[in-house]
Structure 1
């Protein structure tokens, strides 16, 4: 088959760090255009809007949408209406309802829609899922703490309503936990900490359970300095499992069981090509649903102002 002619919309740090290198190494794609208000990609046609790009480059078959979630719905609908397959960076949208609408439109037009969750493709995630399926789980703790000033400097959109705040990284943990646990979980309580000058939380403490009353807790915090923490710890009948470094490393009872180089975005693009060839979509909304539930059930706690 000929390479899929793909375009990127929203050229920022994640595109330069992850999307462009992944596409450059994948023979399933040919990057033909980009659209962004501020950024450009060398060697291809660049436009200021997705509408201008689609009008000018009719050969585009798929688009990868990497702008902030508050602006993704209109761009995705424009692409689908134009007959293009759509890759959605995480989170797939600002609300569950708008992503459901995109899913229905993609189905009606026979197009592929991909809600990408890059952390599910971290190298040790499948090994963790297999381990948990082989034993009885007693409790699970999620510790996802990082320094927002390092990872999201001067990104005001992330603090606005719909920007998710600390759930922007936290949803990565949720995408992993919803994949590796043998049964669905649901939120029972939450406390969300909002800086007095921000519309999105800087920290969150969440309690989950399931039909068998499994104890699952999560601590998300954007004020971590020094060593960053992206860990999932499970106490089981077979011992302690630690999935660390955002899903890159797995240890069981203190011994490394899985440790490989990260290949998240190359695997995402392999998956996108796969579903396009198969003529179907891949849209799992469970991580975003947990975020929505946290905002619905969560108690708000106001904390000191935060400045970048």
Structure 2
């Protein structure tokens, strides 16, 4: 019986030690170079190019039509039609529930909330997975007006090796331009585009894009989610977050969940924090 208990303790200790090395694994994978190569036949490519050139003249009209259709469809999906969609002109609120009913945006015909042309949002959340795996997530947004805003995310992840008591850390940055495609009193949805950067001896950057939503369900309560996808040195650097927020005047308290995929390791955290609106 004692041998079984000892074996279980050793197994759990090994699992904890392996878990504590996830950050180092992410960093090592992000620093490694891709060595895959591909070979192509230049003769075949040149012959195919000549054939495609002759065929393109015959199908230019059809291709141009579909290219134009794709352009306008993409423009409507990402930006919207300011000639017909009045919600795109909704004013930015001073802070959620400032008028007792609206979230980030107030209807243009709503006189209960004065026009607001600029807003700063700050929030900070403690990330917790286990006693040996935790971190912090700071987010800042600058709304110069209601049409778009600039966002920055800074995460620091920490893991402790239970055997050596050494700490491993990873610092992840996201810098984005964000646009809300839908701007209603109770719901907004939009996208982000920008870059990601990992410090902590990795010092590599990549292109990033994402989606975000906010649902102002009932007075003083909202639910938000955000997803960002990126690749650094050919490896995924993705994030997902979901939070429930309780708003009180120009500040809020929140709890939620975050998932990060940095190279092959996955990180799951419970979050606790709050924020301010100025």
Give the TM bin, normalised by the shorter chain: under 0.3
- The TM-score with structure 2 as length reference comes to 0.26
Higher helix share: 1
Higher strand share: 2
Larger radius of gyration: 2
- The TM-score with structure 1 as length reference comes to 0.24
